[in-house]
Amino acid sequence: MSALQLFCRGRLSWGLLALSGVVLELVALFFQYTMDLAPCVMCIYVRVAVLGLILAGLIGMLQPKLWIVRFVGLVSWAVSSVWGFRLASELNDMQVNPSPFATCSFYPEFPSFMPLDVWLPSVFSPTGMCSDLPWTWLSVSMAQWMMVCFAIYGVIWLIMLVPSVKPLK
């Protein structure tokens, strides 16, 4: 377990987490601006969850040898993974079981101290409808792919948890 413990305490592991989140954000922007797929408000919330993964990676990169920094990074990672999975699952349910009574808002509801849609509307402003299913690959929708991604983040988090908090011998 020593090699995994050392990996968890290195900047590379946290950098990979942050980099994977950046790649997901860039893919989302590619879909939006190159493939002309309009993101719905739930898609924007999923982007915020991915942003949480990026921030978790950046927090862990600050000083990964300190247990408190790793702990804050791990908590941020777990919250972002679970919240992102929940959002993607909710979006998938809206797309698979469309209902006029279960719709999403047209406007994101960010806290007043962090209006991401005002600060960066090109990334965090929704223009699509949640019930639309504009893209699939291998018969799997984007929401379902994001559920897979967040589940993978959760599994990797579980693998990294014990070596991250266990003291080195």
pLDDT (tens digit per residue) in 62-108: 888 888 888 899 999 999 999 999 999 988 888 777 776 667 777 78
Q: Are 38 and 32 in contact (CB under 8 A)?
A: yes
Q: Which of 8, 9, 70, 104 is catalytic?
A: 104
- The pLDDT assigned to 136 comes to 65
Name the pTM for this structure.
Answer: 0.85
pLDDT (tens digit per residue) in 2-15: 877 777 778 898 99
Q: Is 8 a catalytic residue?
A: no
- 69: helix, strand or coil: helix
- The pLDDT assigned to 98 comes to 72
The single-letter code of the amino acid at 20 is S
Q: Are 166 and 130 in contact (CB under 8 A)?
A: no
pLDDT (tens digit per residue) in 96-139: 777 766 677 777 877 888 888 778 777 887 777 766 677 667 88
Q: Is 43 a catalytic residue?
A: yes
Q: Which of 9, 40, 70, 149 is catalytic?
A: 40
| Domain 2-94+137-161 class, CATH top level | mainly alpha
Q: How many helices (H) and strands (E) does the chain have?
A: 7, 2
pLDDT > 70 in the chain, percent = 91
